[in-house]
């Protein structure tokens, strides 16, 4: 059997090698402990691997802050754009004004006595106020233009935060209907005989109002749209004739106003439910003004609506007939400002995003 043996030189060399290894290991441990105390390892890991880096002061990369806006904040965040027909333009007080409020207002009978300037005074709108309601406007006029002017819906835009709107009365032909009721022989049933035609026009109104709301939504996707209904023109239970209108005629006209309001209100409510279901920003809010003039209807001592006015010089009915008086427009302003504060009766989905 072969035996292995080491000579003296080989044994001494092995001992020296073992000693160096032990010394190196001891030195490594000492250096490691020193580095831990000095934080060298952390710094090395931070610089090489982007890990273990110390945090001092504000943490980097904070998430943006998201805040849900209140109804008033939504309304005031941009521009207020006032659209609609004569009940918004101020027809009932137009010829009592010194001058129309802006360019083109003479054709549209926009008056400073309308509710629009009063709403603009009640709230500060960051984008200002733009007043484009026009007397005689139908839903088609809002979409295509009137008197050679651009379409009213085109006045709304991304910066619009509030829209007020009255529409539908001219589509239903109420001016012509009212004239037919007044210009008739005493005792005639010509007034109520218009019912079938009026109901047909009111029924057709649903789709056109929906189209207007869709167009406004496209142009001003975050805006609150407040649709204002029409007031009941006569007392709920009239007992005397007014302007050749018998109590029966007055009750019938009240009923047609109610149907018109219900139709427009249903479209507005349905549109807003759709927005809410998708948690979309903006809203469509209907203000039912049917009972707003109670105690101040036509024929009352202090009416909020003008009765029949005839220009005797040319024997024509003045356009302000059966439109709100100054007090009536102030009542409308109160309804709108209260609705701005109240909101749609649900959570608004408009938000503000702020970076730290």
Mean pLDDT along residues 75-87: 97
Query: Is pLDDT larger for residue 30 or for residue 295?
Result: 295
Which pLDDT score is estimated for 52?
A: 46
Q: What is the pLDDT of residue 29?
A: 44
- Position 164 pLDDT exceeds 90: yes
Average pLDDT over residues 16-25: 52
Active site residue 208: no
Helix crossing, 247-277 with 174-182: angle to 10°? 170
What's the pLDDT score for residue 53?
55
DSSP at 183: S
The C-alpha angle 108, 136, 302, rounded to 5 degrees, equals 90
pLDDT bin (cut points 50, 70, 90) of residue 80 is very high
| Residue-level length of the chain | 356
Q: Which residues pair with 305 in a beta bridge?
A: 324
Q: Per-residue confidence at 3, pLDDT binned at 50, 70, 90?
A: very low
Per cent of the chain over pLDDT 90 is 64
CB 162 within 8 A of CB 128: no
In this predicted structure, the answer to whether residue 33 has a pLDDT above a threshold of 50 is no
**One-character DSSP codes across 72-126:** HHHHHSSEEEE--SHHHHTGGGGGGSSS-SSTTHHHHT--TTSHHHHHHHHS--T
Identify the residue with better confidence: 170 or 317.
Answer: 170
- Of 169, 166, 160, the residue nearest 80 (C-alpha): 160
* Per-range mean pLDDT, top range of 10-24, 216-230, 231-245: 216-230
Set 114, 296, 323, 349: catalytic member:
323
CB 68 within 8 A of CB 350: yes
Asked whether the predicted pLDDT for residue 190 surpasses 90, the reply is: no
124 token code pair: 């500060």
Report CA dihedral (255, 261, 267, 271) to the nearest 10 degrees.
-150
Give the model confidence (pLDDT) of 249-279 as tens digits.
999 999 999 999 999 999 999 999 999 999 9
Position with higher pLDDT, 18 vs 252:
252
Query: What sign results for the dihedral spanned by CA atoms 324, 121, 163, 73?
Result: negative
Number of Cβ within a 10 Å radius of residue 64 = 9
Out of 77, 86, 135, 161, the active site residue is 86
Is the pLDDT confidence value at 234 over 90?
yes
Concerning whether 323 is annotated as a catalytic residue, the answer is: yes
Q: Which of 245, 257, 220 is nearest to 87 (CA)?
A: 257
Residue range 229-238: mean pLDDT, rounded: 95
pLDDT in the model for residue 41? 45
CB 320 within 8 A of CB 111: no
Task: Report whether pLDDT(82) > 80.
Answer: yes
CATH number of 65-354: 3.40.50.1110
pLDDT at residue 214, as a whole number: 97
When pLDDT is averaged across residues 182-200 and rounded to a whole number, the result is: 86
Task: Please give the pLDDT value at position 32.
Answer: 47
Confidence of residue 64 (pLDDT cuts 50, 70, 90): confident
Q: For residue 121, what are its two tokens?
A: 């005074």
pLDDT of 137 higher than 70: yes
> Could you tell me the pTM of the whole model?
0.79
Distance of CA 172 to the CA centre of its chain: 25
Mean pLDDT, the chain, whole residue set: 84
Q: Are 305 and 293 in contact (CB under 8 A)?
A: yes
Q: C-alpha dihedral over 200, 202, 207, 212, to 10 degrees?
A: 150
User: What is the per-residue pLDDT for 90?
Assistant: 93
- pLDDT band with cut points at 50, 70 and 90 for residue 7: very low
Q: How confident is the model at residue 281 (pLDDT cuts 50, 70, 90)?
A: very high
The model's confidence at residue 74, banded by pLDDT at 50, 70 and 90, is very high
Sorted by where each begins, the domain ranges of the chain are: 13-49, 65-354
CA distances from 91 to 58, 117, 212, 226 (A): 60, 14, 22, 20
Q: Which of 151-160, 261-270, 275-284, 301-310 has the lowest mean pLDDT?
A: 301-310
Q: Is the pLDDT of residue 202 over 70?
A: yes
pLDDT at 40: 46
């Amino acid at each position: 059997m072969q035996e292995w043996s080491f000579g003296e030189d080989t044994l001494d060399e092995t001992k020296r090698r073992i000693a160096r290894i032990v010394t190196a290991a001891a030195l490594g441990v000492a250096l490691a402990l020193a580095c831990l105390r000095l934080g060298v390892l952390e710094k090395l890991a931070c610089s090489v691997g982007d890990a273990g880096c110390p945090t001092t002061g504000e943490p980097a990369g904070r998430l943006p802050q998201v805040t849900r806006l209140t109804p008033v904040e939504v309304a005031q965040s941009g521009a207020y754009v006032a659209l609609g027909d004569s009940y918004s333009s101020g027809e009932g007080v137009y010829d009592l004004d010194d001058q129309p409020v802006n360019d083109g207002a003479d054709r549209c009978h926009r008056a400073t006595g309308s509710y629009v300037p009063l709403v603009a005074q009640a709230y500060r709108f960051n984008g200002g106020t733009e007043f484009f309601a026009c007397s005689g406007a139908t839903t088609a006029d809002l979409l295509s233009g009137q008197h050679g002017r651009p379409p009213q819906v085109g006045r709304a835009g991304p910066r619009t935060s509030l829209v007020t709107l009255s529409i539908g009365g001219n589509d239903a032909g109420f001016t012509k209907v009212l004239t037919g009721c007044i210009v008739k022989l005493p005792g005639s049933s010509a007034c109520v005989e218009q019912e079938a035609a009026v109901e047909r026009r009111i029924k057709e109104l649903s789709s056109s109002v929906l189209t207007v709301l869709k167009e406004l939504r496209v142009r001003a996707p975050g805006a609150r749209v407040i649709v204002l209904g029409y007031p009941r023109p006569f007392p709920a239970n009239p007992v005397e004739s007014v302007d050749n209108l018998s109590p029966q005629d007055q009750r019938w006209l009240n009923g047609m106003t109610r149907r018109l309001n219900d139709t427009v209100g249903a479209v507005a409510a349905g549109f807003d439910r759709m927005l809410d279901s998708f948690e979309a920003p903006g809203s469509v809010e209907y203000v039912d003004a049917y009972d707003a003039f109670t105690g101040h209807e036509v024929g009352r001592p202090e009416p909020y609506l003008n009765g029949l006015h005839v220009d005797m010089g040319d024997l024509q009915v003045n356009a302000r007939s059966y439109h709100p008086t100054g007090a009536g427009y102030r009542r409308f302003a109160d309804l709108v400002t209260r609705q701005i504060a109240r909101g749609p009766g649900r959570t608004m989905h408009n938000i503000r995003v702020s970076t730290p």
